[in-house]
Amino acid sequence: MEEIKYPVGGFAPGYYMCKCVNCQQEFKGDKRATQCEPCAIEMVKVKIRETENGGIEIDQDYLPGFIDQFGDGTLGELNPEDWDALEFLKWLELNNYKIVKKIKFF
């Protein structure tokens, strides 16, 4: 296995208690760290490629991380690898969850 070279995304090792901006979990890291190690590693897996017409396309699957927030993690009720987007949306509806867009008022 290849050794990780830090910093990765918003994570670097350290001895300060921090709160991840992605998953909101507390973790131990550098005093300037903004992400836990798993979230930082997931973030750097994002693929950015140029399209035929000169634009950019970002390829990242946010669904597993989103699903993981609703269960006991990957070992609990909702294993992200067992769900697709439509199944998960149906589960949200059956369990009375609503997806709302935050509107910022100035």
Check whether 11 has a pLDDT greater than 70: yes
Give mean pLDDT, residues 15-36: 92
pLDDT the model gives residue 28 = 96
pLDDT the model gives residue 21 = 87
pLDDT the model gives residue 82 = 76
* CA separation for the pair 62, 22 (Å, rounded): 11
pLDDT the model gives residue 84 = 73
Residue 101 CB burial class (10 angstroms; 0-12, 13-18, ≥19)? exposed
Question: Could you give the 3-state DSSP secondary structure of residue 18?
Answer: strand
Radius of gyration of the chain (CA): 17
Given a contact cutoff of 8 angstroms between Cβ atoms, the answer to whether 32 and 9 are in contact is no
Residues 11 and 54 in one domain: yes
pLDDT the model gives residue 29 = 95
Given a contact cutoff of 8 angstroms between Cβ atoms, the answer to whether 58 and 48 are in contact is yes
Provide the number of structural domains found in the chain: 2
Residues 80 and 31 in one domain: no
Residues 65 and 104 in one domain: yes
Domain span holding position 26: 1-60
Q: pLDDT tens for residues 40-91? A: 888 777 666 777 887 777 666 666 666 666 665 544 566 667 777 777 778 7
